[in-house]
Amino acid sequence: METKWVLLTVLVLTGLALWVVPRTRFARRLRMTVGLFYAINILGILVGIAGLALTLGRPDLVLEEHYYEVLLLPVFLSYMYFALLQIVQKSKEILDEKQALNMTQAAAATLPFAVFWVFLLYALYKETVLTGLIFFPLFVFFVLLAYSAHVLIFYRKN
């Protein structure tokens, strides 16, 4: 089966889960924990590193075979879990206020890195070191890496 069909199936199943799971007894067992908060951000770092390495090493796989979507899938599913928790608990306060603050701080700290990264990509394109649509996965994976790392740094430090 082609990768895009697998991805489409996962998307449909995720949508279905968001509708079905809150209506089951299993929903009561779902909760956000500190371990999960760490796991999601560590996952973001690992996916970011793997994505950057794969994009630079095998851009053909990443762009033509939809591998970058496959790599992003665990992160997407973890954020869908957040959405599921919000639906089940009928609340937007899934994270505690320090976690929410640290995520905001991480977003702000990531912004200058993202701008720098875009300037660097622009320079590399201008010098034709990079060509084609490779900028997109490079940007997405870099931002994911920078953001996830900053969340963990702020959470541990502050």
Partner 1 sequence: MKLGNNVRRYRFDREELSQQRLAEAIGVTRQTIFAIEKGRFVPSTLLALRIARFFGKPVEELFYIIENEDAE
CA pair distance 24, 62, nearest whole angstrom? 37
39: contact with partner 1 by CB under 8 A = no
Whether 125 contacts 131, CB under 8 Å: yes
Cα 79 to its chain centre, rounded Å, is 8
134: contact with partner 1 by CB under 8 A = no
The pair of three-digit structure tokens given for residue 154, joined into one six-digit string: 């702020």
CA pair distance 157, 102, nearest whole angstrom? 10
Size, binding site for partner 1 by CB under 8 A: 9
Of 67 and 155, nearer to partner 1 (C-beta) is 155
* Residue choice 64, 96, 104, 120 for contact with partner 1 (CB under 8 A): 96
- Which of positions 100-119 make contact with partner 1 (CB under 8 A)? 101
By the criterion CB under 8 A, which residues form the site for partner 1?
34, 37, 96-99, 101, 155, 158
